[in-house]
Structure formats: structure tokens, C-alpha cells
Amino acid sequence: MKKLRLAYVRFTSCCGCQLTLLNCEEQLAAIDAVAEVVAFDMASSRPDDGGPLDAVLVEGSISRPEELVELLRLRRRAEILVAVGACALTGGVNVLAHGDRIELCEGVYGECAREKLTFPPQPLCRFVRVDLQVAGCPPERSEHLQLLGALARGGLPALPEYAVCMECRQRENLCLLLEAKQPCLGPVTRAGCNALCPSFGAICEGCRGPVTEANRAEESRLLLGLGLSEREVRARLERFSGASHEDP
Amino acid sequence: MRSWAFQAGFEDRLLQSLRGDYRVLAPVRGTDGVVRLQPVRSWAELSPAGLPLIPLKKVVFPPHDVLWTLMEYEYREPAPSSVPVALVGIAPCDLYALAYLDLVFADDPHYQRRRQNLLLIGSNCRPTPECFCPPRREPPPFDLFLAADRLWVGSAWGAGLLTALQAELSSPGDLPLPAEITDGQQQVPENLEQLFTASAGLPLWREVGERCVSCGACSAVCPTCYCYEMSDEALPDGRVARRREWDNCFFRNHALVAGGQNFRPTRAERLRFRFEHKMLGFGALRGISACVGCGRCARACPVDIDISAVLAALAGGNKP
Ligand code: SF4
Ligand code: SF4
Ligand code: SF4
Ligand code: SF4
Ligand code: SF4
């Protein structure tokens, strides 16, 4: 089998997704055997040779012109482009900052912020074709491994596209929304975490982003019915899904 | 039907006699209030009211089932468990539901392997306001059935279990099963098929479909929902596993086919499809109702969609 030429690249993000892959210690040797890692900031200082790629995994959202240029370059270089993690899929928590950008940036980076051109963080799909989305903040280790295993065989993994509730019910949890009257986002959030939070009695905060055809109107009604204000409902629904999603 | 009266404490001794040879599962209410099928030691642990959230299908048709694995060129099927499972305290509707799954999976080796290892001990239920099981002509399948202080035997396997416990039983009598088991709670409208066909254009489906969040809970908890999806999982070290996982007709992908065509693109269509499939079945099973009226779907639905209310609306009742 020919070795897969692979890059794991990050833009505006926290590196959490990349680290999740590095945390798969017991499979790292196996990954090395099937893939030539051309670029992977968190794992290697080897310079990128700039050649064609079989696949690129992209973490993070796009918030600077340089990032956009690099993203377009990667799209041209790579056969398959995979968006990994909430930031890459929807902008993730990066989108939460509201207010004057210059002020916000100066608050963090001081004077030099004025020289840096930035724009509100955008998901990758705004600019390029994305062949697969791996949801999560960060995605599960198992999803990283399924992704690399499938890529090594020339395919893409089948990741769930339904809501967290399905996994939650299969685990026979008490429904926090229905029975505990808590603002759980399970019905509108993409599954794949095996309903991690509700299984420990904590509501789903929606970190895996909206499920296909999320019924946000009805979820809003449910949350309003629990006594949340309209502002709270919007804030909850937007936390991991960007502010610009429209109801289907 | 042959039946025996038994003495106080018999249930526990029955459980005890099973414990050595079987994995004994029964509906038990957890501290969080959720009833689950789980291992039990004494009859007092059983939850007399309340069906398990996830019905017995999880035992014969688990939510995530590895059908085979492949390592390099070595193909393996998971070794079947040799320990038989005894399901105890199963309500009649869940037994009827299993009879339906038996038809659906008649030729499925994975289901049959587990089914043949399954001992069924039914017991009388306490109907809740959501129950709407239809009247039945036949008794449900069981090996033993317990109601109050009487016991019915439904198979040679069940009869065999009693030999060690003969001392605690009266001499056999010929009493029918308690009427509540087959009488049902509610009649199903007779002309359902016409009602469904005539309802295609009604706003009812769109209205209910707008409420549905496609969470899949109704189908996950339904004792006769059996749709599944197959997927192959490959890992970097060369291991491959083929899995069968519960799928759901409320999910957009369920009716998606090659080329991006979708047989039921809208929620309203999917909702109507599920209800039609539950009530009328399809193929060779057409006419056999899959819905046993357990009421689980209505209890699990976050937006109060209730199949019995929708049926009533079809038959000319109020809006659901
Ligand atoms: S998706 Fe979450 S873990 Fe991944 S980079 Fe963004 S913030 Fe970090
Ligand atoms: S607790 Fe949340 S995720 Fe679980 S079933 Fe209820 S709404 Fe869905
Ligand atoms: S339950 Fe919700 S918040 Fe928790 S990990 Fe899953 S998607 Fe994220
Ligand atoms: S009442 Fe609902 S959950 Fe029960 S069998 Fe009918 S459709 Fe399934
Ligand atoms: S439980 Fe209710 S909301 Fe969820 S899929 Fe079923 S009908 Fe729709």
C-alpha cells in the first residue's frame, strides 16, 4: 500500500483537535506506518515540502487574509480536505466575541493589534469545498482514528449525522430536557460523542454543532418553555454553531 | 391453557433456580426513575409498573452490533455467548412486540442466534394512561407467564423449568390467561388503510412534522422499530469491523440513495411514513400492526407527539 501523504494544519484555534490525535498513543506507530506526515505543527517541526497531498486535516476557523490564502493553497494541493472540529465547521467558540474588532484585538494583543488585519472568524466551508466534517470540540479520539483508517484505504469514514438524543436514549439516560426540565441541546446537536455530557447528568451544550436539519424553531420553543429568556436561548443555540445559521 | 397456582415466595425461588444457568434480566427502576432491563437477584427489585425505557429488542438486536472483524486476512465473527438470557417480568405488549420482530428477523442469523438463547417469563402489566394496545386473538409468546398467584406454561422449555419446583405448585388446572392480556386497552380504527391513503394531503402531517425535532427518541424506544444501518470501521493498524447500528426513519439520511435522491425529504413525509409503517406494515407483513400500543414513543417525545392522538385525529377526532 502506498503511504498516504498527509498534513494536519491549523488556523484560528486552540490546538485541541490536533492534540486529540496526538493523545491516541497506542495507534501512533500504526499511523506512522500508513501515512507520511508532511505537516503537523503540534507533532513535528519538519518543514512542509509544499508538494501534493492525499489529504489535509484542517483545524480552526479563518480570521485573517493570510489564513485564507493558505487555505486556498491547501485546497489546490490536497485530494481530500477534512474540516476537523467546531472552529473549522462553524467558527466554534471563536465566533463568540462580539463588539468592535480593533478594541477586542487590542485588549488581547496590545498596540501591535492594529497592524494585523483580521475579520470575524469564518468556517472553512465559506471558502472551499469540504469533503468531510468531523464535528466536536474537540472531536473524539475514535473519530480521528476512523478518519485516518478510512483515508489509508482510500475512503472516508461513516460518521453519524443524527442528533445526540439517539445516543442518549440508547444509553438509557434520564432525559434532562423532558424529565429534568433543563435546557439540553441534544435534539439539535450532531451525535458522535455517545451523549457524553447527558450520560453524566450534564446537559448537552451543543459542542458538536448543529445536526443536519436542526429544528431550531422547535428547540427554541422548548427552551423558552423552560423559562429561558429569548437572549439566553439565542446565546445557547449560537455558542457552537455560529450566529448566522438560518432555520431550515 | 394449563396453569398452576403457586405459593408465596415462589417467584424468588424461580429466580434462584435460574441464576446458575442464565443471565437474568428484568425491568428495574433506577434511582433516577428510569426503568431499565438489568440483572436482578430478587423479585422485589422488579418494577411492577413501568416498561423498560429501551425494550427487549436491545437483547436480540443490540444498538451497536459488530458482525465481523478483519485483521490482515483473518476474518472473525464474534463468539456467540453460550449463556442463555432469561427475561423476567416482561409485559404482554413487549412479548407481542418480540413476536413481530421474530417475523421480521426470521432469516437473520445474528438475531436468531440470540433469540434461541432467550427464555421469556412474562408477567401481568399495569396499564398506564398512554397504553393503547389493541385486542388480540392469540396469547403472546412466552415460556412462563405469571399473574397474581398463577402460572401458565407456554413451551416445553418453560415446563422443564418447573420440575424442580413442583412441590410449590398446585395440581394443574385449565384456566385461560387473564383476560386483560388479550383484551387490550383500545380499539384501532378499522379502516386505517383508507384513512392513511386519504390523509396524504391533510395539513395534519405538516403541522405535526413542524413540531418534530427528528431526535429519533420515539423509534429508539419502540419495541418494534428495527431499522438499521451498516457501516465499516477501519483503523490505522489494519483492523476493520463491520457494524450494524440502529437507524431511524426520522433521520434525513435514512431514505437517501445514491445520486442524492431522497424518497422522503421532508419531516412530514417521514412522520407519515413511520406511522403508516407502524400501523400497516409493509410487504408480506402488510396488515399486521407493528404498533403494540405500549405508549413509549409518546412518553419519550420531547414535543409531545403521540401516535394514538394522531390516529384518533385521522379517524375524525380532534387535532393531536
Ligand atoms: S474545535 Fe474546540 S478543540 Fe478544536 S480547535 Fe476549536 S476550540 Fe479547540
Ligand atoms: S437528555 Fe438531552 S440529549 Fe438526552 S434525550 Fe434528553 S434532550 Fe436528548
Ligand atoms: S453531549 Fe453535547 S456538549 Fe457534550 S460532548 Fe456531546 S455534543 Fe458536546
Ligand atoms: S406505542 Fe409507539 S413505541 Fe409503542 S409500539 Fe407503538 S409506535 Fe412503538
Ligand atoms: S420523539 Fe418526537 S420529536 Fe423525536 S423524532 Fe419522534 S416524533 Fe419527532
Rg, C-alpha atoms of chain B: 21
Contact B236 A148 (CB under 8 A): yes
* Rounded distance between C-alpha atoms, residue A75 and residue B159, angstroms: 69
Which chain A residue shows the shortest CA-CA distance from B237? Answer: A30
Measured CA to CA in angstroms, residue B126 lies from A103, B42, B165, B223 at distances of 65, 20, 27, 18
* Rounded distance between C-alpha atoms, residue A6 and residue A55, angstroms: 5
Average pLDDT over residues B282-302: 87
Average pLDDT over residues B181-209: 83
Average pLDDT over residues B169-188: 80
Looking at residue A26, its pLDDT comes to 94
Which chain B residue shows the shortest CA-CA distance from A218? Answer: B211
Which chain B residue shows the shortest CA-CA distance from A190? Answer: B215
- How many Å lie between the centroid of ligand 2 and the Cα of residue A237? 15
- Three cell numbers, residue A73: 493553497
Cβ atoms < 10 Å from Cβ of B147: 17
Residue with CA at minimum distance from ligand 4 atom 5: B291
Rounded to a whole number of angstroms, the distance from the CA of A142 to the nearest CA of chain B is 9
Looking at residue A56, its pLDDT comes to 98
Kindly report, residue by residue over A77-89, the tens digit of the pLDDT: 999 999 999 999 9
Whether B22 contacts B157, CB under 8 Å: no
Asked if ipTM goes beyond 0.90, one says: yes
Q: Long-range contact list for A63-70, CB < 8 A, 24+ apart?
A: A63/A11, A63/A12, A63/A94, A63/A118, A63/A119, A63/A120, A63/A121, A63/A122, A64/A12, A64/A116, A64/A117, A64/A118, A64/A119, A65/A117, A65/A119, A67/A11, A67/A12, A68/A127, A70/A9, A70/A11
Average pLDDT over residues B146-154: 91
Average pLDDT over residues A231-246: 79
Average pLDDT over residues B197-205: 86
Is the Cα torsion angle A203, A205, A208, A212 positive or negative in sign? positive
* Rounded distance between C-alpha atoms, residue A105 and residue A112, angstroms: 9
Whether B302 contacts A176, CB under 8 Å: no
Average pLDDT over residues B213-235: 95
Contact A172 B54 (CB under 8 A): yes
A247 touches chain B (CB under 8 A): no
Whether B51 contacts B296, CB under 8 Å: yes
Rg, C-alpha atoms of chain A: 19
Kindly report, residue by residue over A136-162, the tens digit of the pLDDT: 999 999 999 999 999 999 999 999 999
pLDDT band at B304 (very low <50, low <70, confident <90, very high): very high
Which chain B residue shows the shortest CA-CA distance from A141? Answer: B235
Cβ atoms < 10 Å from Cβ of A108: 8
Average pLDDT over residues B16-22: 93
Q: Which helix (H) or strand (E) holds B320?
A: none
- Between B53, B212, B236, which is nearest A27 by CB? B236
Query: In the predicted model, is pLDDT for residue B53 greater than 70?
Result: yes
Query: In the predicted model, is pLDDT for residue B130 greater than 90?
Result: no
Average pLDDT over residues A19-25: 96
Q: Is A220 helix (H, G, I), strand (E, B) or coil?
A: helix
* Rounded distance between C-alpha atoms, residue B205 and residue B217, angstroms: 19
Query: In the predicted model, is pLDDT for residue B318 greater than 70?
Result: no
* Rounded distance between C-alpha atoms, residue A158 and residue A173, angstroms: 25
Contact A158 B212 (CB under 8 A): no
Whether B268 contacts B205, CB under 8 Å: yes
Instruction: Give whichever of A100-109, A195-204, A230-239, B204-213 has the largest mean pLDDT.
Output: A195-204
Whether the upstream peptide bond of residue A138 has omega within 30° of 0, thus cis, is yes
Contact B221 A169 (CB under 8 A): yes
Chain B contacts to A (CB-CB under 8 A): 32-34, 36, 53-54, 63-64, 210-217, 220-221, 231-240, 246, 248, 251-253, 267, 300, 302-303
**Cβ-based contacts of A33 with chain B (< 8 Å):** 236
- Between B236, B252, B303, which is nearest A152 by CB? B236
Whether B118 contacts B85, CB under 8 Å: yes
Whether A124 contacts A71, CB under 8 Å: yes
β-sheet bridge partners, residue A6: A37, A55
Residue with CA at minimum distance from ligand 2 atom 5: A165
* Rounded distance between C-alpha atoms, residue A115 and residue A125, angstroms: 27
Whether B22 contacts B143, CB under 8 Å: no
- The pTM score is 0.92
